[in-house]
A and B are shown apart, each in its own frame.
Chain A
Amino acid sequence: MDNLAILAQAPVFNLQLLVDGVLIGALFALAAFGMALVWGVLRIINIAQGEFVMLGGYVVVYAAAAGVPPLAAVPLAALALYVLGWLLYRAVIWRVVDQDLFVSVLATFGLSILLQQLANQLFGANVRSVDPGLGTLLLVEGSISVPYVKLVAFAASLALGVALVLFLKRSRLGQAIRATSQNARAARIVGVDTDRVFASTFALNAAICGAAGALVSMTWVIHPYFGLAYTVRAFMIVVVSGLGNLAGIVAWGAGLGVAEQYAGFLLGAQFQTAFVFGLLVVILVARQLALHRRRMVLR
């Protein structure tokens, strides 16, 4: 409760928590966009989501070591992961598209372990991070500090989100993706090459995660084993906000980020993640109860 007293006495720190929460939430939302896309179109829950984020981070680490400015390496990471996503679809994912959900969970879980271990072998278990050298924005006499790179990451993830929406609405492939997600068989009948749509969607998801990972490597630190945190948070955001609800994903991403920051501040970092998952259970139960009540009315 001492920590609550701090917030009451110095409300400025509320702002710091809010800002930190919203900024990291945008990155969670980015990974969740991709997950929702794959889930909606391929009917696959991709457990390797976090590993794509992790690999995107490593692209930036190595690009920066080769002299590429870190920010310029973000599209590079997206491109590299697009190619990887495409290859993984052609090698593994297409085999599980029409299968039971459980099969796809197992397959992508296997991929996730494989990618972690490969990353560990290739890049080493060392913690890496790239300093983009952008400096820090200080507000309210230094009480609030926001590294500029977090703002850049936030802006970039919003821009990516908007671009994704426009792409799905306007472009030919985007329309095909939406058609396939509505009814794959009907799409096939009207001439959509659904296999290609599936491959593009999976690759697109990997690219989005790659971009998110690129931003993570500049803002926080990366190592081969942090992926799971992103998979689980993406999963949670998608479960709570529903498929095909991009605005909801952004809102829940930011909400999740803020909730985590407050939990970490008030209860201690050991309860940060536990609190969030406790919250997930509460939300799901509450929603279940609400649905139940509605069903009673209909009956």
Chain B
Amino acid sequence: MHVQRNASRSLMVAGLCAAAAMAASAVQAQEDTITLGAAVSITGKYSTNGKNTLDGYQMAVKRINEMGGVKVGTTTYKLAIKYYDDESTSARGAQLMERLIAQDHVAFVLGPYSSGLTKAIAPVTEKYRIPMVEGNGADRDLFTQGYHYLFAVLNTSDYYLREAVNLLAEQAERIGKKPSDLRIAIAIENDNFSLDVRNGVMEDAAKHGMKVVIDDKLPPELNDMSSTLTKVKALRPDMLVVSGHDKGATLAVRQTSDQKVHVPMLALTHCDSAQVAEKLGAAAEYAVCASQWDRSLNYSDRWFGSANDYAQRFEKEFGYAAPYQSAESTASVLVYADALARAGSVDPQKVRDAIAKTDLMTFYGPVKFDDTGKNIAKSMVLYQVQGGAYKVVAPSRWAQSRLVFPAPRWEERESAKRN
């Protein structure tokens, strides 16, 4: 009897020891993890791009942890993401950021999807003096507010289609036309991002002396732009610029083709995330699209290798081709990994200063921030849909293919198909 009681007591002691050890290791594990907080759009109108963003973050965290984590001073940390669904609304985004910082004690923040949400969240991170590295808020306004803790790895939105204007001027000269004789039509969604795209186009068009003949702003819920296209048909501009996230790209491709509206150059944003070439087929042919990144670019880094290696790894992990929204999200995490190692500390202030001094090459492109926090080292690329695939046509340094300009008329395309 006595022996039995003793045995049960020693069992209990052993159990307690095990529990204590487990608790200790849990504390240990928590200490060795750096949590990056984010509000991302899992539901609501940005849910597709929100998922792209989150997948990009997860991809980076997984890869960095696979490679052993981040060495900060003498300790090696794993990375983790803590995120909430902001429902694609600004108010919710700001609220969740308060919660991440004040309740969850997150000391490093990754950006949400879209300029609007980034605008809503930036004042919160500024207030708490917590750095935010983002890859999906491209609005120029974000970098005129004097924010000290905001860093963006992407090009601001006014740069999206500036290159298209310059390309148009170049092509016009090639076929013996004066750039100042060219006319541009603009139809954009009435939101921050697209208004910036428009302003960039207007500025560069003015530089070349081109005339903007249509300047329409599409309401966000509109799913028909036929009155604008009738104007395009009447005025015959040399280029039609459409920007309105995935919806704008799909609508423009679908309706120019349905209504047989001819423009020598159709310049769009968000073609790749809207998958216009894949989903709309021949209708998307010859459309020119701005992109932050492409897998064919010859950038590379120590985490993923080349841009193409990243794209392959991403596709294997998530089962769809990596859009640039994911690539720039991954790059945001890489900036943290690099800055944390250089700072040698997990103090937000020190990490912020290290981020400001970033000079990093990634698979996504070079990253170097100016005083306002935007990346000044990278440039945009332009694709043209050729034979159902996105071919890089500008800048000429990375061009795979020559731009087809002017795009053939619809009746020529049809007769070419028949032959």
In the complex the two chains form, what is the Cα distance from A6 to B236 in whole Å? Answer: 12
Q: In the complex, what's the smallest C-beta–C-beta distance from A104 to chain B, in angstroms?
A: 24
Interchain CB contact under 8 A, B228 and A269: yes
- Which residues from chain B contact A221 at a C-beta distance below 8 Å? 223, 247, 250-251, 254
**Chain B residue at minimal CB-CB distance from A12:** B234
- Which residues from chain B contact A51 at a C-beta distance below 8 Å? none
- Which residues from chain A contact B228 at a C-beta distance below 8 Å? 264-265, 269
Would you give the 0/1 interface string for B250-280, flagging 1 where the beta carbon is closer than 8 Å to chain A? Answer: 1100110011110000000000001000001
Interchain CB contact under 8 A, A131 and B246: no
Let me know if B233 is at the binding interface, CB within 8 A.
Answer: yes
Instruction: Among A17, A142, A149, A260, find the residue whose CB has the most chain B CB atoms closer than 10 A.
Output: A142
In the complex the two chains form, what is the Cα distance from A139 to B283 in whole Å? Answer: 21
Interchain CB contact under 8 A, A226 and B223: yes
**Chain B residue at minimal CB-CB distance from A261:** B227
- Complex partner residue of B227 from A17, A131, A143, CB under 8 angstroms: A17
- Complex partner residue of A269 from B45, B219, B223, B234, CB under 8 angstroms: B219
- Which residues from chain A contact B227 at a C-beta distance below 8 Å? 17, 20, 260-265, 269, 272
Interchain CB contact under 8 A, A127 and B247: yes
Let me know if A68 is at the binding interface, CB within 8 A.
Answer: no
Q: Which of A248-299 contact B (CB under 8 A)?
A: 260-265, 268-270, 272-273
Let me know if A175 is at the binding interface, CB within 8 A.
Answer: no
**Chain B residue at minimal CB-CB distance from A223:** B247
In the complex the two chains form, what is the Cα distance from A149 to B406 in whole Å? Answer: 28
Q: In the complex, what's the smallest C-beta–C-beta distance from A263 to chain B, in angstroms?
A: 8
Given A138-B260, A223-B247, A228-B221 in contact, is the A125-B46 Cβ separation under 8 Å?
yes
Q: In the complex, what's the smallest C-beta–C-beta distance from A85 to chain B, in angstroms?
A: 23
Let me know if B190 is at the binding interface, CB within 8 A.
Answer: yes
Interchain CB contact under 8 A, B247 and A265: no
- Which residues from chain B contact A260 at a C-beta distance below 8 Å? 227
In the complex the two chains form, what is the Cα distance from A63 to B46 in whole Å? Answer: 25
Q: Which of B27-35, B210-218, B392-400 lies at the interface with chain A?
A: B210-218
Q: Which of B372-412 contact A (CB under 8 A)?
A: 411
Interchain CB contact under 8 A, B43 and A220: no
Let me know if A241 is at the binding interface, CB within 8 A.
Answer: no
Given A127-B274, A221-B250, A269-B217 in contact, is the A229-B222 Cβ separation under 8 Å?
yes
Interchain CB contact under 8 A, B219 and A120: no
Let me know if A94 is at the binding interface, CB within 8 A.
Answer: no
- Which residues from chain A contact B254 at a C-beta distance below 8 Å? 129, 131, 220-221
- Which residues from chain B contact A138 at a C-beta distance below 8 Å? 260
Would you give the 0/1 interface string for A191-234, flagging 1 where the beta carbon is closer than 8 Å to chain B? Answer: 00000000000000000000000001000111111101100000
Q: In the complex, what's the smallest C-beta–C-beta distance from A127 to chain B, in angstroms?
A: 4
- Complex partner residue of B45 from A13, A125, A261, A262, CB under 8 angstroms: A125
Interchain CB contact under 8 A, B219 and A273: yes
- Which residues from chain A contact B260 at a C-beta distance below 8 Å? 136, 138, 142, 145
Interchain CB contact under 8 A, A10 and B216: no
Would you give the 0/1 interface string for A77-104, flagging 1 where the beta carbon is closer than 8 Å to chain B? Answer: 0000000000000000000000000000
- Complex partner residue of A147 from B48, B235, B258, B274, CB under 8 angstroms: B258
Let me know if B44 is at the binding interface, CB within 8 A.
Answer: yes
In the complex the two chains form, what is the Cα distance from A244 to B326 in whole Å? Answer: 52
Interchain CB contact under 8 A, B225 and A145: no
Interchain CB contact under 8 A, B251 and A127: yes
Would you give the 0/1 interface string for A9-21, flagging 1 where the beta carbon is closer than 8 Å to chain B? Answer: 0100100110010
Q: In the complex, what's the smallest C-beta–C-beta distance from B215 to chain A, in angstroms?
A: 7
**Chain B residue at minimal CB-CB distance from A226:** B223
Given A225-B45, A269-B187, A269-B216 in contact, is the A127-B230 Cβ separation under 8 Å?
no
Let me know if B199 is at the binding interface, CB within 8 A.
Answer: no
Interchain CB contact under 8 A, A120 and B233: no
Q: A124-B47, A269-B228 provided; 5 other pairs, C-beta below 8 A?
A: A6-B231, A13-B233, A143-B233, A264-B226, A269-B227
Residues of A at under 8 Å CB distance from B?
Answer: 3, 6, 10, 13, 16-17, 20, 24, 117, 120-121, 124-127, 129, 131, 136, 138, 142-143, 145, 147, 149, 216, 220-226, 228-229, 260-265, 268-270, 272-273
Q: Which 4 pairs show the lowest CB-CB distances between chains A and B? A: A264-B227, A270-B217, A269-B216, A127-B250
Q: List 7 A-B contacts (CB under 8 A).
A: A17-B227, A125-B44, A127-B274, A145-B261, A220-B255, A223-B247, A261-B227
